[in-house]
Amino acid sequence: MTGVDWSSYSLSDFLMFGPEVFLRLFVRINQDVWPWQVVAVLAVLVVAGLLVHGSPLAKRCVLLLLAAAWVGSGAGFLMEYYGPINTPATWFGWAFLLQAALLTVAALVWPWDETAAGPVRRWQAGFGWLAMVSLLPLLVVAQSGNWHAVALFGITPDVTVAASVPCLLLMPRRVRWLFLLLPLLWSLFSAATLWALGTRLLFVLPAATLVLTITGFRFSPRSEQSQD
Amino acid sequence: MAIKLSRRQFLAAMAATGLSLRMPALRAASGEKAIVRAIPSSGERLPVIGMGTWRTFNVGGDQQLLQERTGVLKRFFELGGTLVDSSPMYGSAEDVMGEALDTLNAHDRVFAANKIWTRDGNATRDQDRASRRKWGVQRFDLQQVHNLLAWEPHLETLKQMKAEGNIRYLGITTSHGRRHRDLARIMEQEPLDFVQLTYNVLDREAEQHLLPLAKERGIAVIANRPFQGGSLFRRYQSEPLPGWAEESGCSNWAEFFLKFIVSHPAVTCAIPTTTSVEHMEENMGALYGKLPDEEQRRQMADYVAGL
């Protein structure tokens, strides 16, 4: 007997749900976790402020807040909501928890230095990050036409991952790759899923993450900024 | 008291009467006989329109969508449907089907068709047990090897399960026109009750060998992807139905596509999927009325190919 002819399969053949069910995941989690959205928004503001501050303590706090966001989106959205309709989402949920553990270790153990960048660049970084994390959640709203589907940092995975990658650029290059592996895998998985679903607006989320991640792998801060 | 109608009102009333006579709900309620086909191995008769659950019933814990899907299933039963097909591959679809059957108290109305989908050839009974628990059924009417995956050990176990009375029928499935040569070989060698394959007005490869073989070997045929995963509607819905469609028993595109399939003498039933009660009603229209004859089938295929 011949084996499986994989060339006869398309991405959508591996998808066992439609866009309606997927977009409803965002509405459902927002209904169920209220009022934790307020905490998520506050966390975004705090992270932006910490990026502007740039002290070693601020960096540790950023990483701890990122870790909390990965736990929230991994254990909540991926394992509780997305996993039941798409098994690999559950596996990613566990990987998100592992990433959160790594971030926590990095926050508590790594000997962080003062950020070498000047105050103007720190303000740019903080506000640039804030703008990105404010705009990305609206993509799901635009795709679904429903404000209740807003995809917040710390609650939904794509925005959490996209928002984390620029912060991970703070890390020394020799360890940064370890933290960028999961964002890379997630954005590939997410991009394939969203492409097959035909939710083209949402495709911006993993695409942005992919660009940022590849930048993170290649980008080397100027020597006076590098901690290597 | 005499009621005066204008010509326009009279024509509107006549049109409404004509349309209502074509509605499957009224046809079912008026006692019109649904089109059925016999399962060759037993003679048991099945309505020619069943229901698939691929993508549509995988809604996880979404209570709103669960309620909507239950409504779709309810309409399916009301309009005379019985065969529902699912698989462990379809995410939460089996759980959702079980909950919907519970809500409708319809376990005795369903012809439960499921699949074994695991590479582990020793796990047939375990997976059957797990699926039965999800569906809430004592036994499956039909258990099939999904996409020929580890088909030899699974089929051996299914034969034993059928002999023990733990399933009523056994079968094997493929889709998208894949592995037809392998499927034909299995059909020639194994005592199958059912095969499931992709057959629709555009994907007609099965007509060459598999459908005649099924007829010859006395194997019932379930046609999956009757709308080519919805793409037939995307391509043709904006086109007009041909004027002669009425003569072939078709008043909309859903009936056109489905009646083309189930009018093939070797096909036992087609299993369209839908998330909408309205679409379910259109699909079930193909369960009533007349079926196109051989010449009309040729005309239907030519018309679609020419669009």
Phi, psi (5° rounding) for residue B56? Answer: -75, -35
Model confidence band, residue B84 (pLDDT cutoffs 50, 70, 90): very high
Cα separation, A65 vs A100, whole angstroms = 9
Q: Which residues of chain B make contact with A2, given a CB cutoff of 8 A?
A: 179, 181-182
Q: Which residues of chain B make contact with A197, given a CB cutoff of 8 A?
A: none
The helix (run of H) or strand (run of E) holding residue B45 is strand B45-47
Interval B139-156: pLDDT, tens: 999 999 999 999 999 999
Residue environment code for A129-149, b if the CB has 16+ CB neighbours within 10 A, otherwise e: bbebbeebbebbbebbeeeeb
Give the whole-number percent of chain B exceeding pLDDT 90. 85
The pLDDT value given to residue A226: 40
Map out the domains of chain A as residue ranges: 15-218
Whether residue A5 and residue B58 make contact (CB cut-off 8 A), yes or no, is: no
Residue B56 lies in a domain: yes
Number of neighbours of residue A215 by Cβ within 10 angstroms? 13
Q: Given a cut of 70, is residue B256 above it in pLDDT?
A: yes
Residue B283 lies in a domain: yes
Nearest residue of A to residue B88, measured between CA atoms: A16
B220 vs A14, higher pLDDT: B220
For residues B114-121, give the mean pLDDT: 97
Q: Given a cut of 90, is residue A131 above it in pLDDT?
A: yes
Cα separation, B288 vs B24, whole angstroms = 7
Model confidence band, residue A173 (pLDDT cutoffs 50, 70, 90): confident
Select the residue of A8, A81, A84 nearest B178 (Cβ to Cβ).
A8
Number of neighbours of residue B76 by Cβ within 10 angstroms? 27
Residue B194 lies in a domain: yes
Model confidence band, residue B19 (pLDDT cutoffs 50, 70, 90): low
Interval B181-236: pLDDT, tens: 999 999 999 999 999 999 999 999 999 999 999 999 999 999 999 999 899 999 99
**Residues near A69 by beta carbon (within 8 Å), at least 6 away in sequence:** A40, A43, A153, A154, A160, A163, A164
Interval B159-169: pLDDT, tens: 999 999 999 99
pTM, rounded to two decimals: 0.89
Whether residue A85 and residue B91 make contact (CB cut-off 8 A), yes or no, is: yes
Model confidence band, residue B307 (pLDDT cutoffs 50, 70, 90): confident
Whether residue B90 and residue A16 make contact (CB cut-off 8 A), yes or no, is: yes
A–B CB contacts, 8 A cutoff, strictly below: 59
Q: Given a cut of 90, is residue B70 above it in pLDDT?
A: yes
The number of domains in chain B is 1
Model confidence band, residue B56 (pLDDT cutoffs 50, 70, 90): very high
By mean pLDDT, which of B10-19, B128-137, B287-296 is the weakest? B10-19
Q: Given a cut of 50, is residue B102 above it in pLDDT?
A: yes
Whether residue A2 and residue B179 make contact (CB cut-off 8 A), yes or no, is: yes
- What is the residue range of B211's domain? 47-306
Cα separation, B128 vs B140, whole angstroms = 8
Interval A28-59: pLDDT, tens: 999 999 999 999 999 999 999 999 998 889 99
The pLDDT value given to residue A77: 98
Q: What is the CATH number of the domain that holds B225?
A: 3.20.20.100
Nearest residue of B to residue A31, measured between CA atoms: B62
Interval A78-126: pLDDT, tens: 999 999 999 999 999 999 999 999 999 999 988 777 666 677 788 888 9
The helix (run of H) or strand (run of E) holding residue B170 is strand B167-173
